[in-house]
Structure 1
Amino acid sequence: MSRLVTFLILFAFWMMLSGMFDAFHLFLGVIACGAVAYFSAHLLFPDGKVGLSGRNVLGMALYLPWLFWQIVVANLQVAKIVLHPRMLDLINPQIVRFKTSIKSPFARVTFGQSITLTPGTITINIDRDEFTVYALTDDTAASLPGEMEKRVAAALEKEQG
């Protein structure tokens, strides 16, 4: 099941990026995505279980628009810093370490990738519940883990109780 889900994800992504929908290119996409899914499904689903529930899909559907908006806002903030005549006064690159309350590996990876997708921050390491993140400014560092952690947990963690 994990290989099938991996194949479907890869093939959908391949079709979106290739833009080629003739029989020859679709056949090549099926072969390439099938081979990659066969050999690497364990990377996406380490325990072999897909574990996608309707709640997770709905949670991600609600989380992704918020994430895209945060990426736009962070892009504008970084552009403002880069274009500012006193750029060096505005930046204070630093490494921030914090613990997260997120338990599931998939949710932690989603959180780490969300941080990295947001300009001005890069997830350097995830070690169990401890994150190490590069932050470009003091404001960015102060906002970690913040609202993003809460939203990822709400979207992907099972309810406690």
Structure 2
Amino acid sequence: MRIIATAIVLAGLWLLLSGLYKPLILAFGAASVVLVVFVVNRMDAVDGDRVALHLKPLASVRYFFWLLGEIAKSNWAVTKIVLSPSLPIRQRLFPVPYNQKTDLGQVIFANSITLTPGTLTVETDLGYFLVHALSFSPGDMDALADMDARVSATESAGAA
């Protein structure tokens, strides 16, 4: 049953993302789905283990759209830095504390930092991430604290 569900999800995702419905393309898509389902089944990657997400759906969607806006703003800022003749770069490595209760929340926060242009999560440690910024300013800590709070707000009360 899991194999069929996996095939249906993959086929649906493929159809949604490809947007092409010509017979040859559909045949390639079907072949891709069959190959992936075969490989996944042989690897026992779909073994029935469940991972509890402990995320609030509505808060997660709000966070996703907020993050898209932050990525756009950061893209613009990095573009201005790169195109500036003087290249106003103020690189810095600094620790950023996190307050997430789950590993998933910590991964979301660390990846959100890395997705935001001009910043990169370099290392993780108990209670903080080491972050590299292309152009550090004191306001970055406030922005990262805001991001931390927003990610924490996506975690459900059942998170441990």
Fold match (TM-score > 0.5): yes
Unaligned runs of 5+ in 1: 43-47
The Cα shift of 1:17 comes to 4.2
User: How much does 1:108 deviate?
Assistant: 0.8
Q: TM-score, normalised by structure 2?
A: 0.74
CA RMSD across the alignment: 3.4
Shift of 1:16: 4.4
Residues 1-161 of structure 1 aligned to structure 2 (within 5 Å)? 14-21=14-21, 22=23, 23-35=26-38, 37-38=40-41, 39=43, 41=45, 48-52=49-53, 56-87=56-87, 90-139=88-137, 141-143=140-142, 145-158=144-157
CA distance in 1, matches of 2:57, 2:45: 19
TM-score (norm 1): 0.73
Q: Secondary structure at the match of 2:129?
A: strand
Larger radius of gyration: 2
Quickly say closer, same or farther: Cα 1:41–1:77, change in 2 above 3 A: farther
- In 2 relative to 1, CA 129–41 (structure 1 residues): closer, same or farther, beyond 3 Å? farther
Please identify which structure carries the higher helix content: 1
Runs of 5+ in structure 2 lacking a partner?
A: none
Percentage of matched positions with identical amino acids: 30
Q: What is the Cα deviation at residue 127 of structure 1?
A: 3.1
Deviates more, 1:8-17 or 1:122-131: 8-17
